[in-house]
Structure 1
Protein backbone atom coordinates (compact mmCIF):
# COMPACT_ATOMS: atom_id res chain seq x y z
CA UNK A 1 0.00 0.00 0.00
CA UNK A 2 0.96 3.63 -0.48
CA UNK A 3 1.33 5.10 2.99
CA UNK A 4 1.71 8.55 4.50
CA UNK A 5 3.21 8.13 7.96
CA UNK A 6 2.39 10.64 10.71
CA UNK A 7 4.56 10.90 13.80
CA UNK A 8 6.92 13.21 15.65
CA UNK A 9 9.02 12.00 18.65
CA UNK A 10 11.65 9.30 19.03
CA UNK A 11 9.17 6.53 20.05
CA UNK A 12 7.58 6.84 16.59
CA UNK A 13 10.86 6.15 14.78
CA UNK A 14 10.83 2.31 15.14
CA UNK A 15 7.43 2.18 13.44
CA UNK A 16 8.58 4.38 10.56
CA UNK A 17 11.72 2.28 10.07
CA UNK A 18 9.70 -0.95 10.18
CA UNK A 19 7.33 0.33 7.49
CA UNK A 20 10.24 1.52 5.37
CA UNK A 21 11.74 -1.97 5.61
CA UNK A 22 8.50 -3.70 4.65
CA UNK A 23 8.51 -5.01 1.06
CA UNK A 24 4.73 -4.74 0.93
CA UNK A 25 4.31 -1.05 1.61
CA UNK A 26 5.69 2.23 0.29
CA UNK A 27 6.00 5.25 2.56
CA UNK A 28 5.56 8.09 0.08
CA UNK A 29 5.49 10.98 2.58
CA UNK A 30 5.76 11.79 6.27
CA UNK A 31 3.66 14.21 8.32
CA UNK A 32 5.33 15.60 11.43
CA UNK A 33 5.17 18.60 13.71
CA UNK A 34 6.97 21.75 12.50
CA UNK A 35 10.64 22.20 13.30
CA UNK A 36 11.09 23.44 16.87
CA UNK A 37 13.73 25.46 18.67
CA UNK A 38 16.14 23.42 20.77
CA UNK A 39 19.49 23.70 22.51
CA UNK A 40 21.32 26.71 23.83
CA UNK A 41 21.37 28.38 20.44
CA UNK A 42 17.61 27.88 20.07
CA UNK A 43 18.14 26.67 16.52
CA UNK A 44 15.29 25.10 14.59
CA UNK A 45 15.57 21.32 14.74
CA UNK A 46 13.73 18.71 12.73
CA UNK A 47 11.66 16.20 14.69
CA UNK A 48 13.15 12.68 15.05
CA UNK A 49 10.61 11.33 12.54
CA UNK A 50 11.28 14.18 10.12
CA UNK A 51 15.03 13.58 10.36
CA UNK A 52 14.60 9.90 9.44
CA UNK A 53 12.43 10.88 6.49
CA UNK A 54 15.08 13.33 5.31
CA UNK A 55 17.72 10.59 5.50
CA UNK A 56 15.58 8.37 3.25
CA UNK A 57 14.70 11.08 0.78
CA UNK A 58 11.00 11.07 1.68
CA UNK A 59 8.79 14.13 1.34
CA UNK A 60 8.14 15.77 4.72
CA UNK A 61 4.95 17.70 5.41
CA UNK A 62 4.94 20.00 8.46
CA UNK A 63 1.55 21.73 8.66
CA UNK A 64 0.96 24.12 11.54
CA UNK A 65 -2.46 22.52 11.80
CA UNK A 66 -3.69 19.33 10.17
CA UNK A 67 -6.63 21.30 8.81
CA UNK A 68 -4.49 23.74 6.81
CA UNK A 69 -5.91 23.88 3.25
CA UNK A 70 -2.46 23.56 1.65
CA UNK A 71 -1.75 20.41 3.63
CA UNK A 72 -5.12 18.84 2.86
CA UNK A 73 -4.69 19.60 -0.83
CA UNK A 74 -1.24 17.98 -0.92
CA UNK A 75 -2.47 14.94 1.01
CA UNK A 76 -5.36 14.52 -1.44
CA UNK A 77 -2.91 14.83 -4.32
CA UNK A 78 -0.69 12.09 -2.85
CA UNK A 79 -3.81 9.94 -2.37
CA UNK A 80 -2.43 7.44 0.18
CA UNK A 81 -4.18 4.14 0.76
CA UNK A 82 -3.73 4.56 4.52
CA UNK A 83 -2.05 6.83 7.03
CA UNK A 84 -0.38 5.02 9.94
CA UNK A 85 0.09 7.29 12.96
CA UNK A 86 2.38 7.11 16.01
CA UNK A 87 2.48 10.02 18.46
CA UNK A 88 1.91 12.70 15.85
CA UNK A 89 0.88 15.25 18.47
CA UNK A 90 -1.94 17.15 16.76
CA UNK A 91 -5.66 16.69 16.27
CA UNK A 92 -6.84 15.46 12.87
CA UNK A 93 -9.98 17.07 11.43
CA UNK A 94 -12.58 14.96 9.66
CA UNK A 95 -11.51 16.43 6.32
CA UNK A 96 -8.09 14.84 6.80
CA UNK A 97 -9.51 11.57 8.12
CA UNK A 98 -11.64 11.17 4.99
CA UNK A 99 -8.76 11.34 2.48
CA UNK A 100 -7.06 7.89 2.72
CA UNK A 101 -9.19 4.99 1.50
CA UNK A 102 -8.39 2.90 4.60
CA UNK A 103 -8.31 5.81 7.04
CA UNK A 104 -5.74 6.78 9.62
CA UNK A 105 -4.51 3.88 11.77
CA UNK A 106 -3.03 4.84 15.12
CA UNK A 107 -0.55 2.90 17.25
CA UNK A 108 -1.41 3.75 20.85
CA UNK A 109 0.68 2.64 23.80
CA UNK A 110 -2.01 1.07 25.98
CA UNK A 111 -4.55 -1.75 25.88
CA UNK A 112 -7.59 0.22 24.81
CA UNK A 113 -10.04 1.25 26.16
CA UNK A 114 -7.68 1.68 29.13
CA UNK A 115 -5.64 4.86 29.22
CA UNK A 116 -6.88 6.84 26.27
CA UNK A 117 -5.02 10.12 25.93
CA UNK A 118 -1.57 11.65 25.72
CA UNK A 119 0.33 9.81 28.49
CA UNK A 120 -0.79 6.16 28.69
CA UNK A 121 2.59 4.73 29.69
CA UNK A 122 3.00 7.18 32.55
CA UNK A 123 -0.55 6.50 33.73
CA UNK A 124 -0.09 2.72 33.71
CA UNK A 125 3.03 2.91 35.88
CA UNK A 126 1.51 5.44 38.27
CA UNK A 127 -1.61 3.28 38.70
CA UNK A 128 0.44 0.17 39.47
CA UNK A 129 -0.77 -1.80 36.44
CA UNK A 130 1.01 -5.12 36.03
CA UNK A 131 0.28 -5.49 32.31
CA UNK A 132 0.07 -2.90 29.56
CA UNK A 133 0.60 -3.02 25.82
CA UNK A 134 -0.01 -1.31 22.51
CA UNK A 135 -3.10 -1.18 20.30
CA UNK A 136 -3.73 -0.30 16.67
CA UNK A 137 -7.06 1.33 15.91
CA UNK A 138 -8.82 3.41 13.28
CA UNK A 139 -8.90 7.07 14.26
CA UNK A 140 -12.33 8.64 14.71
CA UNK A 141 -13.36 12.07 15.97
CA UNK A 142 -13.62 10.98 19.62
CA UNK A 143 -10.28 10.70 21.44
CA UNK A 144 -8.71 7.23 21.02
CA UNK A 145 -12.18 5.70 20.73
CA UNK A 146 -11.99 4.07 17.29
CA UNK A 147 -12.34 0.35 16.58
CA UNK A 148 -9.28 -1.78 17.35
CA UNK A 149 -7.39 -3.88 14.81
CA UNK A 150 -4.98 -5.64 17.16
CA UNK A 151 -2.80 -5.40 20.26
CA UNK A 152 0.36 -6.68 21.92
CA UNK A 153 0.93 -6.99 25.67
CA UNK A 154 3.89 -6.05 27.82
CA UNK A 155 4.62 -6.77 31.49
CA UNK A 156 5.45 -3.78 33.69
CA UNK A 157 8.34 -4.59 36.02
CA UNK A 158 8.82 -3.12 39.47
CA UNK A 159 11.74 -1.00 38.24
CA UNK A 160 10.34 0.21 34.90
CA UNK A 161 10.55 3.90 34.23
CA UNK A 162 8.28 5.46 31.64
CA UNK A 163 11.25 5.77 29.30
CA UNK A 164 12.25 2.10 29.55
CA UNK A 165 8.70 0.82 29.15
CA UNK A 166 7.95 3.14 26.25
CA UNK A 167 11.11 1.97 24.50
CA UNK A 168 9.97 -1.65 24.62
CA UNK A 169 6.45 -0.75 23.50
CA UNK A 170 7.81 1.32 20.62
CA UNK A 171 9.67 -1.75 19.32
CA UNK A 172 6.89 -4.31 19.78
CA UNK A 173 4.32 -1.79 18.58
CA UNK A 174 6.25 -1.26 15.35
CA UNK A 175 5.81 -4.92 14.46
CA UNK A 176 2.13 -4.71 15.36
CA UNK A 177 1.65 -1.69 13.10
CA UNK A 178 3.27 -3.43 10.12
CA UNK A 179 1.12 -6.52 10.70
CA UNK A 180 -1.95 -4.30 10.87
CA UNK A 181 -1.05 -2.68 7.54
CA UNK A 182 -0.54 -6.16 6.05
CA UNK A 183 -3.95 -7.32 7.27
CA UNK A 184 -5.71 -4.23 5.96
CA UNK A 185 -4.10 -4.69 2.56
CA UNK A 186 -5.05 -8.38 2.46
CA UNK A 187 -8.59 -7.70 3.62
CA UNK A 188 -8.10 -10.29 6.37
CA UNK A 189 -8.21 -7.87 9.31
CA UNK A 190 -11.31 -6.15 10.62
CA UNK A 191 -11.48 -3.55 13.35
CA UNK A 192 -13.60 -4.36 16.42
CA UNK A 193 -15.44 -1.68 18.41
CA UNK A 194 -13.97 -0.91 21.83
CA UNK A 195 -15.82 -2.00 24.95
CA UNK A 196 -17.89 0.66 26.65
CA UNK A 197 -16.70 -0.51 30.06
CA UNK A 198 -13.23 0.09 31.46
CA UNK A 199 -12.52 3.41 29.76
CA UNK A 200 -9.82 5.40 31.55
CA UNK A 201 -7.97 8.55 30.53
CA UNK A 202 -4.33 9.59 30.70
CA UNK A 203 -3.95 13.34 30.18
CA UNK A 204 -0.64 14.96 29.33
CA UNK A 205 1.80 15.05 32.25
CA UNK A 206 3.14 18.53 33.00
CA UNK A 207 6.18 19.60 35.00
CA UNK A 208 3.84 20.55 37.84
CA UNK A 209 2.40 17.01 37.81
CA UNK A 210 5.92 15.58 38.23
CA UNK A 211 6.48 16.94 41.72
CA UNK A 212 7.05 14.19 44.28
CA UNK A 213 4.39 13.98 46.99
CA UNK A 214 5.99 12.52 50.11
CA UNK A 215 2.70 12.74 52.01
CA UNK A 216 1.56 9.73 49.96
CA UNK A 217 2.39 6.09 50.82
CA UNK A 218 5.83 4.84 49.79
CA UNK A 219 4.47 2.71 46.96
CA UNK A 220 2.70 5.73 45.44
CA UNK A 221 5.81 7.92 45.77
CA UNK A 222 7.95 5.29 44.04
CA UNK A 223 5.48 4.75 41.19
CA UNK A 224 4.93 8.45 40.62
CA UNK A 225 8.66 9.13 40.26
CA UNK A 226 9.20 6.20 37.90
CA UNK A 227 6.23 7.34 35.83
CA UNK A 228 7.79 10.73 35.05
CA UNK A 229 11.33 9.46 34.41
CA UNK A 230 12.95 10.69 32.22
CA UNK A 231 10.28 13.16 31.05
CA UNK A 232 9.28 15.60 32.39
CA UNK A 233 11.42 14.45 35.32
CA UNK A 234 10.55 14.15 39.01
CA UNK A 235 11.41 16.97 41.39
CA UNK A 236 11.04 18.15 44.95
CA UNK A 237 11.84 21.34 46.84
CA UNK A 238 14.77 21.51 49.26
CA UNK A 239 15.81 24.70 51.05
CA UNK A 240 13.51 26.67 48.78
CA UNK A 241 14.96 25.37 45.49
CA UNK A 242 13.89 22.58 43.20
CA UNK A 243 16.03 19.50 42.91
CA UNK A 244 15.57 16.73 40.35
CA UNK A 245 15.05 13.18 41.59
CA UNK A 246 15.81 9.87 39.96
CA UNK A 247 13.82 6.72 40.79
CA UNK A 248 13.56 5.79 44.47
CA UNK A 249 12.99 2.42 46.11
CA UNK A 250 11.32 1.09 49.24
CA UNK A 251 13.59 0.85 52.24
CA UNK A 252 13.66 -0.29 55.83
CA UNK A 253 14.57 2.50 58.17
CA UNK A 254 13.61 4.76 61.04
CA UNK A 255 10.21 6.36 61.31
CA UNK A 256 10.34 9.65 59.43
CA UNK A 257 7.80 12.40 58.81
CA UNK A 258 6.75 12.84 55.15
CA UNK A 259 9.72 14.26 53.25
CA UNK A 260 12.02 14.18 56.30
CA UNK A 261 15.58 13.18 55.37
CA UNK A 262 17.83 10.73 57.18
CA UNK A 263 21.44 10.56 56.00
CA UNK A 264 23.33 7.31 56.50
CA UNK A 265 26.81 6.36 55.35
CA UNK A 266 25.75 4.86 52.03
CA UNK A 267 22.17 5.96 51.57
CA UNK A 268 19.70 8.79 52.06
CA UNK A 269 16.16 8.07 53.20
CA UNK A 270 13.07 10.24 52.83
CA UNK A 271 9.93 9.74 54.85
CA UNK A 272 6.52 9.07 53.35
CA UNK A 273 3.06 8.41 54.75
CA UNK A 274 4.18 4.81 55.40
CA UNK A 275 7.74 3.45 55.23
CA UNK A 276 10.74 5.47 53.99
CA UNK A 277 12.10 5.43 50.46
CA UNK A 278 15.78 5.43 49.52
CA UNK A 279 16.70 8.25 47.18
CA UNK A 280 18.51 7.38 43.96
CA UNK A 281 20.18 10.12 41.91
CA UNK A 282 19.75 13.77 42.84
CA UNK A 283 20.50 16.87 40.79
CA UNK A 284 20.56 20.26 42.48
CA UNK A 285 20.19 23.44 40.44
CA UNK A 286 23.36 24.20 38.51
CA UNK A 287 24.94 20.90 39.52
CA UNK A 288 25.56 17.54 37.88
CA UNK A 289 23.38 14.54 38.65
CA UNK A 290 24.93 12.44 41.42
CA UNK A 291 24.18 9.66 43.87
CA UNK A 292 22.04 10.83 46.79
CA UNK A 293 24.76 9.98 49.33
CA UNK A 294 27.25 12.23 47.51
CA UNK A 295 24.67 15.02 47.29
CA UNK A 296 23.96 14.73 51.01
CA UNK A 297 27.64 14.92 51.96
CA UNK A 298 28.15 18.07 49.90
CA UNK A 299 24.92 19.65 51.11
CA UNK A 300 25.47 18.89 54.82
CA UNK A 301 21.86 18.09 55.56
CA UNK A 302 20.79 18.92 59.10
CA UNK A 303 18.51 16.79 61.25
CA UNK A 304 14.86 17.47 60.60
CA UNK A 305 15.32 18.95 57.11
CA UNK A 306 12.90 17.64 54.55
CA UNK A 307 11.88 17.51 50.91
CA UNK A 308 8.57 19.14 50.04
Structure 2
Protein backbone atom coordinates (compact mmCIF):
# COMPACT_ATOMS: atom_id res chain seq x y z
CA UNK A 1 0.00 0.00 0.00
CA UNK A 2 1.52 3.37 -1.02
CA UNK A 3 2.35 6.15 1.40
CA UNK A 4 -0.19 8.96 1.81
CA UNK A 5 2.41 11.36 3.17
CA UNK A 6 2.46 14.58 1.17
CA UNK A 7 5.67 16.12 -0.15
CA UNK A 8 6.39 19.46 1.57
CA UNK A 9 5.85 22.56 -0.55
CA UNK A 10 9.08 24.04 -1.89
CA UNK A 11 8.85 27.69 -0.83
CA UNK A 12 10.84 30.71 -1.93
CA UNK A 13 10.23 33.61 0.44
CA UNK A 14 10.56 37.24 -0.67
CA UNK A 15 10.55 40.07 1.86
CA UNK A 16 12.68 42.76 3.44
CA UNK A 17 11.60 44.62 6.66
CA UNK A 18 10.39 43.50 10.09
CA UNK A 19 6.83 42.96 8.85
CA UNK A 20 8.14 40.35 6.42
CA UNK A 21 10.41 38.78 9.01
CA UNK A 22 7.37 37.94 11.15
CA UNK A 23 5.80 36.05 8.23
CA UNK A 24 9.06 34.20 7.67
CA UNK A 25 9.20 33.25 11.36
CA UNK A 26 5.75 31.67 11.05
CA UNK A 27 6.81 29.84 7.89
CA UNK A 28 9.85 28.48 9.72
CA UNK A 29 7.54 26.79 12.22
CA UNK A 30 5.22 25.32 9.57
CA UNK A 31 5.75 21.62 8.85
CA UNK A 32 3.98 21.65 5.50
CA UNK A 33 6.76 23.32 3.58
CA UNK A 34 10.49 23.62 2.99
CA UNK A 35 12.14 27.01 2.50
CA UNK A 36 14.53 26.56 -0.41
CA UNK A 37 15.58 30.19 -0.78
CA UNK A 38 15.06 33.66 0.67
CA UNK A 39 15.01 36.80 -1.48
CA UNK A 40 15.48 40.23 0.06
CA UNK A 41 16.57 43.65 -1.14
CA UNK A 42 20.31 44.40 -1.39
CA UNK A 43 22.04 45.71 1.74
CA UNK A 44 21.97 49.49 1.75
CA UNK A 45 23.90 52.11 3.75
CA UNK A 46 21.96 53.50 6.70
CA UNK A 47 22.53 55.55 9.85
CA UNK A 48 24.97 58.37 10.42
CA UNK A 49 27.92 56.19 9.50
CA UNK A 50 26.21 54.97 6.32
CA UNK A 51 27.12 51.39 7.18
CA UNK A 52 25.53 48.67 5.07
CA UNK A 53 23.11 46.70 7.21
CA UNK A 54 21.33 43.47 6.26
CA UNK A 55 17.54 43.55 6.19
CA UNK A 56 15.48 42.00 8.98
CA UNK A 57 14.63 39.11 6.66
CA UNK A 58 18.26 38.52 5.72
CA UNK A 59 19.29 38.45 9.36
CA UNK A 60 16.76 35.70 10.11
CA UNK A 61 17.69 33.76 6.98
CA UNK A 62 21.36 33.77 7.96
CA UNK A 63 20.45 32.61 11.47
CA UNK A 64 18.46 29.70 9.99
CA UNK A 65 21.09 28.81 7.40
CA UNK A 66 18.86 29.47 4.38
CA UNK A 67 20.35 30.56 1.07
CA UNK A 68 19.92 34.31 0.51
CA UNK A 69 19.51 36.02 -2.86
CA UNK A 70 19.61 39.80 -3.33
CA UNK A 71 19.08 40.84 -6.96
CA UNK A 72 18.72 44.56 -7.64
CA UNK A 73 15.71 43.71 -9.84
CA UNK A 74 14.48 41.01 -12.21
CA UNK A 75 15.24 42.78 -15.47
CA UNK A 76 18.22 40.51 -16.02
CA UNK A 77 17.11 37.10 -17.39
CA UNK A 78 19.91 35.51 -15.33
CA UNK A 79 18.12 36.56 -12.11
CA UNK A 80 14.92 34.88 -13.30
CA UNK A 81 16.83 31.74 -14.30
CA UNK A 82 18.45 31.63 -10.84
CA UNK A 83 15.04 31.74 -9.19
CA UNK A 84 13.61 29.10 -11.51
CA UNK A 85 16.53 26.79 -10.68
CA UNK A 86 15.24 26.59 -7.09
CA UNK A 87 12.10 24.82 -8.44
CA UNK A 88 9.67 26.52 -6.03
CA UNK A 89 6.10 25.27 -5.71
CA UNK A 90 5.02 28.68 -4.46
CA UNK A 91 6.48 32.13 -3.95
CA UNK A 92 5.55 33.80 -0.65
CA UNK A 93 5.88 37.59 -0.73
CA UNK A 94 5.63 40.08 2.15
CA UNK A 95 6.80 43.69 1.86
CA UNK A 96 9.55 42.75 -0.59
CA UNK A 97 9.80 46.17 -2.21
CA UNK A 98 10.61 44.99 -5.74
CA UNK A 99 8.27 44.66 -8.71
CA UNK A 100 7.82 41.05 -9.82
CA UNK A 101 7.39 40.71 -13.60
CA UNK A 102 5.03 38.14 -15.05
CA UNK A 103 7.98 35.86 -15.86
CA UNK A 104 8.65 35.60 -12.11
CA UNK A 105 4.99 35.14 -11.15
CA UNK A 106 4.77 32.25 -13.62
CA UNK A 107 7.74 30.27 -12.24
CA UNK A 108 5.95 28.45 -9.41
CA UNK A 109 2.98 26.11 -10.08
CA UNK A 110 1.02 27.81 -7.26
CA UNK A 111 2.15 31.27 -8.33
CA UNK A 112 2.97 33.98 -5.81
CA UNK A 113 0.94 34.78 -2.69
CA UNK A 114 1.30 38.10 -0.92
CA UNK A 115 0.73 39.14 2.71
CA UNK A 116 -0.89 42.60 2.55
CA UNK A 117 -1.73 44.71 5.60
CA UNK A 118 -5.24 45.86 4.72
CA UNK A 119 -8.61 44.42 3.82
CA UNK A 120 -8.33 44.56 0.05
CA UNK A 121 -9.43 46.18 -2.16
CA UNK A 122 -9.16 49.01 0.37
CA UNK A 123 -5.71 50.58 0.71
CA UNK A 124 -3.77 49.04 -2.10
CA UNK A 125 -0.22 50.35 -2.19
CA UNK A 126 2.72 51.22 0.02
CA UNK A 127 1.28 52.62 3.27
CA UNK A 128 -2.01 50.86 4.16
CA UNK A 129 -1.39 50.84 7.92
CA UNK A 130 -0.72 54.55 8.16
CA UNK A 131 -3.57 55.52 5.82
CA UNK A 132 -6.09 53.51 7.83
CA UNK A 133 -5.16 55.37 11.01
CA UNK A 134 -4.93 58.73 9.25
CA UNK A 135 -8.48 58.32 7.96
CA UNK A 136 -9.78 57.43 11.40
CA UNK A 137 -10.78 53.85 10.55
CA UNK A 138 -11.94 51.59 13.36
CA UNK A 139 -11.07 48.35 11.56
CA UNK A 140 -8.29 47.13 9.29
CA UNK A 141 -6.89 43.67 8.67
CA UNK A 142 -4.71 41.38 6.59
CA UNK A 143 -5.33 39.92 3.15
CA UNK A 144 -3.48 36.98 1.63
CA UNK A 145 -3.66 37.65 -2.09
CA UNK A 146 -2.77 35.75 -5.25
CA UNK A 147 -0.40 38.12 -7.01
CA UNK A 148 -0.91 39.27 -10.58
CA UNK A 149 0.74 41.98 -12.67
CA UNK A 150 -1.29 44.79 -11.06
CA UNK A 151 -0.66 46.74 -7.85
CA UNK A 152 -2.34 44.58 -5.17
CA UNK A 153 -5.12 43.69 -7.60
CA UNK A 154 -4.99 39.88 -7.41
CA UNK A 155 -7.64 37.50 -6.12
CA UNK A 156 -8.24 37.31 -2.36
CA UNK A 157 -7.33 33.93 -0.85
CA UNK A 158 -7.98 34.73 2.81
CA UNK A 159 -8.68 37.86 4.83
CA UNK A 160 -9.10 38.63 8.50
CA UNK A 161 -10.13 41.85 10.25
CA UNK A 162 -8.43 43.56 13.18
CA UNK A 163 -9.84 46.37 15.34
CA UNK A 164 -7.85 49.61 15.56
CA UNK A 165 -7.62 50.94 19.12
CA UNK A 166 -8.39 54.63 19.62
CA UNK A 167 -4.80 55.36 20.64
CA UNK A 168 -3.03 52.77 18.47
CA UNK A 169 -0.02 54.12 16.59
CA UNK A 170 1.26 52.83 13.26
CA UNK A 171 4.00 51.06 15.21
CA UNK A 172 1.53 49.17 17.42
CA UNK A 173 -0.75 48.30 14.52
CA UNK A 174 2.20 47.20 12.38
CA UNK A 175 3.25 44.62 14.95
CA UNK A 176 -0.29 43.32 15.45
CA UNK A 177 -0.91 43.02 11.71
CA UNK A 178 2.46 41.35 11.14
CA UNK A 179 1.58 38.66 13.67
CA UNK A 180 -1.91 38.23 12.23
CA UNK A 181 -0.46 38.06 8.73
CA UNK A 182 1.98 35.31 9.68
CA UNK A 183 -0.79 33.18 11.17
CA UNK A 184 -3.12 33.76 8.21
CA UNK A 185 -0.33 32.91 5.79
CA UNK A 186 0.12 29.48 7.36
CA UNK A 187 -3.66 28.90 7.24
CA UNK A 188 -3.60 29.80 3.56
CA UNK A 189 -0.79 27.40 2.77
CA UNK A 190 -2.54 24.64 4.72
CA UNK A 191 -5.60 25.17 2.52
CA UNK A 192 -3.38 25.22 -0.56
CA UNK A 193 -1.93 21.82 0.34
CA UNK A 194 -5.42 20.47 1.10
CA UNK A 195 -6.79 21.82 -2.18
CA UNK A 196 -9.52 23.82 -0.45
CA UNK A 197 -8.47 27.39 -1.33
CA UNK A 198 -11.16 29.64 -2.75
CA UNK A 199 -10.26 32.65 -4.85
CA UNK A 200 -12.42 35.77 -4.64
CA UNK A 201 -12.03 38.56 -7.17
CA UNK A 202 -11.60 42.05 -5.79
CA UNK A 203 -14.38 44.58 -6.29
CA UNK A 204 -12.71 47.29 -8.37
CA UNK A 205 -15.46 49.77 -7.50
CA UNK A 206 -14.34 49.67 -3.85
CA UNK A 207 -10.62 49.97 -4.48
CA UNK A 208 -8.63 52.75 -2.79
CA UNK A 209 -4.93 53.58 -2.93
CA UNK A 210 -2.56 54.07 0.03
CA UNK A 211 0.23 56.29 -1.27
CA UNK A 212 3.73 56.16 0.17
CA UNK A 213 4.28 58.53 3.10
CA UNK A 214 6.27 61.74 2.75
CA UNK A 215 8.11 63.52 5.55
CA UNK A 216 5.98 66.63 5.13
CA UNK A 217 2.85 64.67 6.09
CA UNK A 218 4.08 64.61 9.67
CA UNK A 219 3.32 68.31 10.17
CA UNK A 220 0.34 68.89 12.47
CA UNK A 221 -2.31 71.53 11.84
CA UNK A 222 -3.76 72.82 15.11
CA UNK A 223 -6.68 74.49 13.32
CA UNK A 224 -8.11 71.00 12.73
CA UNK A 225 -10.22 69.08 15.28
CA UNK A 226 -8.25 67.29 17.99
CA UNK A 227 -9.29 63.86 16.73
CA UNK A 228 -7.81 64.60 13.31
CA UNK A 229 -4.59 65.80 14.94
CA UNK A 230 -4.50 62.61 17.02
CA UNK A 231 -5.05 60.45 13.95
CA UNK A 232 -2.17 62.12 12.13
CA UNK A 233 0.17 61.89 15.11
CA UNK A 234 -0.63 58.17 15.51
CA UNK A 235 -0.28 57.45 11.80
CA UNK A 236 3.12 59.12 11.56
CA UNK A 237 4.65 57.30 14.54
CA UNK A 238 7.43 56.23 14.37
CA UNK A 239 8.13 57.47 10.80
CA UNK A 240 8.21 60.17 9.61
CA UNK A 241 7.13 61.42 13.05
CA UNK A 242 4.63 64.14 13.92
CA UNK A 243 5.90 67.69 14.40
CA UNK A 244 4.80 71.30 14.56
CA UNK A 245 6.32 74.78 14.60
CA UNK A 246 5.98 76.96 17.66
CA UNK A 247 6.69 80.68 17.83
CA UNK A 248 8.37 81.14 21.21
CA UNK A 249 8.38 84.72 22.58
CA UNK A 250 12.19 84.81 22.84
CA UNK A 251 13.00 83.37 19.40
CA UNK A 252 13.26 85.04 16.00
CA UNK A 253 12.32 81.88 14.12
CA UNK A 254 9.65 79.27 14.80
CA UNK A 255 10.93 76.26 16.74
CA UNK A 256 10.38 72.83 15.21
CA UNK A 257 9.06 70.43 17.83
CA UNK A 258 8.59 66.69 17.32
CA UNK A 259 5.68 65.16 19.19
CA UNK A 260 5.02 61.73 20.67
CA UNK A 261 1.33 60.75 20.27
CA UNK A 262 -0.85 61.02 23.36
CA UNK A 263 -4.62 61.42 23.48
CA UNK A 264 -7.54 63.76 22.85
CA UNK A 265 -8.21 65.93 25.89
CA UNK A 266 -11.07 68.07 27.21
CA UNK A 267 -12.94 70.89 25.55
CA UNK A 268 -11.19 74.26 25.03
CA UNK A 269 -13.83 75.88 27.23
CA UNK A 270 -12.08 74.49 30.30
CA UNK A 271 -9.02 76.60 29.42
CA UNK A 272 -10.69 79.82 28.32
CA UNK A 273 -10.93 78.99 24.59
CA UNK A 274 -7.31 79.71 23.58
CA UNK A 275 -6.33 80.06 19.92
CA UNK A 276 -5.38 76.87 18.05
CA UNK A 277 -1.69 76.10 18.49
CA UNK A 278 -1.49 77.66 21.96
CA UNK A 279 0.60 75.55 24.32
CA UNK A 280 -1.46 75.51 27.49
CA UNK A 281 0.98 73.63 29.69
CA UNK A 282 1.30 70.45 31.74
CA UNK A 283 -2.02 68.63 32.15
CA UNK A 284 -1.80 65.34 34.03
CA UNK A 285 1.77 64.78 32.87
CA UNK A 286 1.07 65.54 29.20
CA UNK A 287 1.66 68.70 27.20
CA UNK A 288 -1.70 70.31 26.39
CA UNK A 289 -2.00 72.12 23.05
CA UNK A 290 -5.14 73.83 21.74
CA UNK A 291 -6.82 72.48 18.60
CA UNK A 292 -9.96 73.72 16.84
CA UNK A 293 -12.36 72.14 19.31
CA UNK A 294 -10.47 70.41 22.12
CA UNK A 295 -7.08 70.11 23.74
CA UNK A 296 -4.53 67.62 22.45
CA UNK A 297 -2.39 65.95 25.12
CA UNK A 298 1.06 65.01 23.81
CA UNK A 299 2.90 62.25 25.68
CA UNK A 300 6.30 63.92 25.12
CA UNK A 301 7.97 66.46 22.86
CA UNK A 302 11.42 66.99 21.37
CA UNK A 303 12.45 70.51 20.38
CA UNK A 304 14.91 70.64 17.49
CA UNK A 305 18.45 69.98 18.70
CA UNK A 306 17.31 68.84 22.15
CA UNK A 307 16.55 65.54 23.81
CA UNK A 308 13.02 64.21 24.20
CA UNK A 309 11.36 65.77 27.25
CA UNK A 310 8.25 65.46 29.37
CA UNK A 311 5.55 68.10 29.60
CA UNK A 312 7.01 69.31 32.90
CA UNK A 313 10.49 69.59 31.38
CA UNK A 314 9.20 71.54 28.40
CA UNK A 315 7.16 73.89 30.57
CA UNK A 316 10.13 74.60 32.83
CA UNK A 317 12.55 75.15 29.97
CA UNK A 318 10.36 76.96 27.45
CA UNK A 319 7.29 78.33 29.24
CA UNK A 320 8.88 79.05 32.61
CA UNK A 321 5.99 77.27 34.30
CA UNK A 322 7.61 74.74 36.62
CA UNK A 323 5.37 72.61 38.79
CA UNK A 324 5.54 73.56 42.40
Q: Equivalent of 2:175, from 167, 190, 204? A: 167
Q: Identify if the C-alpha distance between structure 1 residues 267 and 79 changes in structure 2 by more than 3 Å, giving closer, same or farther.
A: closer
State the secondary structure of the residue aligned to 1:283.
Answer: strand
The question of 1:273 aligning with 2:292 is answered yes
The question of 1:248 aligning with 2:259 is answered no
- 1:208-252 deviation line (CA, Å, top 9, x unaligned): 111112121111000110011112211112343422111032222
For 1:228 and 1:66, the matched residues in 2 are separated by 32
Contact persistence 1:256–1:276 (CA under 8 A): no
The question of 1:151 aligning with 2:159 is answered yes
The question of 1:183 aligning with 2:191 is answered yes
State the secondary structure of the residue aligned to 2:113.
Answer: strand
Count of matched residue pairs: 302
Larger radius of gyration: 2
Which aligned pairs between 1:52-201 and structure 2 lie closer than 5 A?
Answer: 52-201=60-209
Q: Identify if the C-alpha distance between structure 1 residues 301 and 99 changes in structure 2 by more than 3 Å, giving closer, same or farther.
A: farther
Contact persistence 1:61–1:71 (CA under 8 A): no
Q: Equivalent of 1:287, from 297, 306, 311? A: 306
Q: Identify if the C-alpha distance between structure 1 residues 193 and 301 changes in structure 2 by more than 3 Å, giving closer, same or farther.
A: farther
For 2:35 and 2:121, the matched residues in 1 are separated by 29
Contact persistence 1:270–1:277 (CA under 8 A): yes
For 1:145 and 1:109, the matched residues in 2 are separated by 14
Q: Identify if the C-alpha distance between structure 1 residues 256 and 90 changes in structure 2 by more than 3 Å, giving closer, same or farther.
A: farther
Once superposed, what is the RMSD of the aligned Cα atoms? 1.6
Which residue matches 2:280?
A: 262
Contact persistence 1:263–1:301 (CA under 8 A): no
For 2:224 and 2:176, the matched residues in 1 are separated by 29
For 1:262 and 1:196, the matched residues in 2 are separated by 47
- Normalised by the length of structure 2, the TM-score is 0.89
For 2:136 and 2:90, the matched residues in 1 are separated by 35
List runs of 5+ in structure 1 lacking aligned partners. Answer: 303-308
List runs of 5+ in structure 2 lacking aligned partners. Answer: 1-8, 248-253
